[in-house]
Structure 1
Amino acid sequence: MADSELVFHTNPMSRGRIVRWMLEELGVPYRTVVQGYGASMKSADYLAVNPMGKVPALQHRGVVVTETAAICAYLADAFPEAGLAPALDDPLRGPYLRWMFFAAGPVEAAVTAKALGQLPPPEKAGFVGYGSYEQAMDTLEQAAASASPWLLGERFSAADVYVGSQVDFGLAFKSIPERPAFTAWAGRLRGREAYRRARELDDALLPQASGQG
């Protein structure tokens, strides 16, 4: 594998769908390696890439990047010509990072805790970063409501890909409430050509992925 090659480890039934969308927004060449749940993800070869034995993972320029939000942020910075991340001296860099990490931290933790029936009682809310599920959703709604049309205004960015995917998936799986700001933003995201192209590519891989163990 050449250091300059982008190698994308994924499974179409995973958060790798977010990274796929990000890659399609970039419009750069990459190679997809489908890792099946079970033996494939836990093989010695793949554990050398990601010791967690999970997808997605990215190999590029001799380094490995894991964690979906980190991969999206890395790709946006690695390919600045795509314009998917504000520069370090851009005032929009702060809001961009804020919402990326808010979705990766409080939002995902709150949604997971709710799904598992493990939300803390009100008197223990201070022990968790999201406070309460309702507080996390209300704050996320503020971000979605300000997306006109995107989180950074007229500029589409990796934050729309990552944070927007959390909303998109959440609406589909009923883990995020159907509020007008969420559904309107998700509708705009689903209309993007790269979103549709990524979905088609992953859907085409479903038979292959389901046959791997």
Structure 2
Amino acid sequence: MLLVLWSHPYSAYGQKASVALYELGLPFEQKLVDARDQALMADFRAISPFAKMPALVDAGAGRTIYESSIVIEYLDRLAGGGQLIPADPDAALEARWIDRVVDSYVGWPMNRIISGKFRPEGQHDAYGSEQDAQQIATAWDTLEDRLGDGRTWGAGESFTLADCAAAPILTYARRLVPFGDRPLLKAWHGRLMARPSFRRALEDAAPFGDLMPAPPAVD
């Protein structure tokens, strides 16, 4: 089995996929996506038409999968199933729901805020960035409420797709919108930071320095 993950180690969605690979114990090669390399980007677009990271190539099966949540669904099945996507239908639904909240209401607005920070002077969208920050804050409240049942991980007592998504995205988004007075969210994030699979993903990113255009979280 030869798995190639096209991504960048500092990409939150790329880290989401690499956490899953490390969690499942699946060996893989990471192909660095570098927007400055036009020839490489042409190859990347040939397998990922929207040029979005990550993209997974399973050479043995002759398959290419992109979109991080679908990549993880595929990897879980490849590893035998029932690990990152729980076998129980209700538990699987909860894992997918948390994943969607994290991706859609934290990850996407986070990326818009970050993109805005790189706009030329005079072209910043302060109103749009404030709306995105409010959406992230609403997601923090939603997750805090969901964690109120005493669960250990994002969707229950097992580490799942939900946690693969949350580990990197919460880590970076809290630098833009602090957790504030949300102790359950902070505690969950602390467990994510200590998870060996996420620590390995962070180690992969370390050689690239700190690419996040916001100071480290202090809350």
Q: Normalization by structure 1: what TM-score? A: 0.76
Residue 29 to residue 177, structure 1, CA distance change in 2 (3 Å): same
Residue deviations 1:87-133, cap 9 Å, x none?
2x532122111111222223334445566534499xxx9xx9xx955
Residue 76 to residue 118, structure 1, CA distance change in 2 (3 Å): farther
Residue deviations 1:160-201, cap 9 Å, x none?
111333222222x23343332222111111111222222223
For 1:1-213, list aligned pairs within 5 A. 4-15=1-12, 16-40=14-38, 43-60=41-58, 61-80=61-80, 83-87=83-87, 89-112=88-111, 116=116, 117-119=126-128, 132-146=135-149, 148-171=151-174, 173-178=175-180, 179-204=182-207, 206=208
Which stretch of the first structure deviates more once superposed, 138-147 or 155-164?
138-147
Residues paired across the two proteins, number: 195
Q: Normalization by structure 2: what TM-score? A: 0.74
Residue 191 to residue 52, structure 1, CA distance change in 2 (3 Å): same
Residue deviations 1:46-103, cap 9 Å, x none?
210112223221112222222223322332233235722112x532122111111222
Aligned residues of 1:46 and 1:53 also touching (Cα < 8 A): yes
> CA–CA distance in 1 between the matches of 2:39 and 2:173?
25
Computed over aligned residues only, the root mean square deviation of the Cα atoms, in angstroms, reads: 3.0
List alignment gaps of at least 5 residues for structure 1. Answer: 208-213
Counterpart of 2:123? none
